Amino acid sequence: MSWRETLGVTPSAEPPYAHNSQNTQKPLEKGNCADIADSAYRDSEQENSKLLEALADACQGLDITPAEVKQALAPEDIADWCSGTISTDTLAAFARSLVQRREMDQGKRPDHYTEQATCKHCGPIWLWFAGEVLGCPWCWNRVADKPIPRPSSIHCGDCIHFERIDHPHLGHCAKGEPEAIAGLWDTDRRCCERFLPKPQQDNNYQPRPVRAETKSKFPK
């Protein structure tokens, strides 16, 4: 995944950033091939050193290293930085998004996710705005079978992991969540990070419209 996909920006959203004026085209000169290759190697090493310096600035105050951010950059991301398409501010935003994604993978709620919302696939979730959505940042946790923090309690019977037994109300959790000896009552309410809603039967489901300022791509 490139930095544009992670930060949710279009190719035209980032203005050129002329930090490497030496990258402008120069007329070719005749010379020894080995000298040319050696020069290209030195240029590559210089670019790598400058990128790591820029990433060190971008990672200040964050629980992530420049090497980790560099590893997360796609080859086209590095090429964009070398051509001046990506600024240091963008690298810093990318580093912050990586830290946030890592914390969310651990089931931690970002500090600015203060509103209760509902995702069609994930159920009740924390977001930076309220409302109903067809997809959310927590969908990555759902697909990867990772925990999702809940803003409210849920009914066990509404979860796809609830396996009924030969009883009209009792069942067991397929994910091994704590339960009584007899099992879970389907109308029990609990805060469960493993809850996933059963597929909705209404094919005409439409999410409530959200405010214009909340329509930016995720992750925020």
Alpha helices (runs of H) in the chain, residue ranges in sequence order: 3-7, 33-58, 66-72, 75-82, 88-105, 139-143
Burial group, residue 31, by CB count within 10 angstroms (0-12, 13-18, 19+): exposed
pLDDT value at position 144?
92
How many helices and strands (H and E) does the chain possess? 6, 8
pLDDT value at position 16?
45
pLDDT value at position 196?
83
Contacts of 71 (CB under 8 A, 6+ apart): none
Q: Is the bond leading into 16 cis (omega within 30 degrees of zero)?
A: no
Question: What are the per-10-residue average pLDDT scores of the chain (220 residues)?
Answer: 54 48 48 51 70 91 92 89 86 92 93 93 93 94 91 84 84 82 81 81 43 40
pLDDT value at position 95?
93
pLDDT value at position 108?
93
Cβ atoms of 186 and 164 closer than 8 Å: yes
Distance in angstroms (rounded) separating the CA atoms of residues 5 and 73 = 11
Q: Cα separations (Å) of 115 from 8, 109, 130?
A: 21, 11, 5
Domains of the chain in sequence order = 3-10+33-105 (no CATH), 109-150 (no CATH), 153-200 (2.20.70)
Contacts of 118 (CB under 8 A, 6+ apart): 124, 125, 131, 132, 133
Distance in angstroms (rounded) separating the CA atoms of residues 45 and 7 = 27
pLDDT value at position 218?
36
Cβ atoms of 166 and 86 closer than 8 Å: no
Separation of first and last alpha carbons in the chain: 16
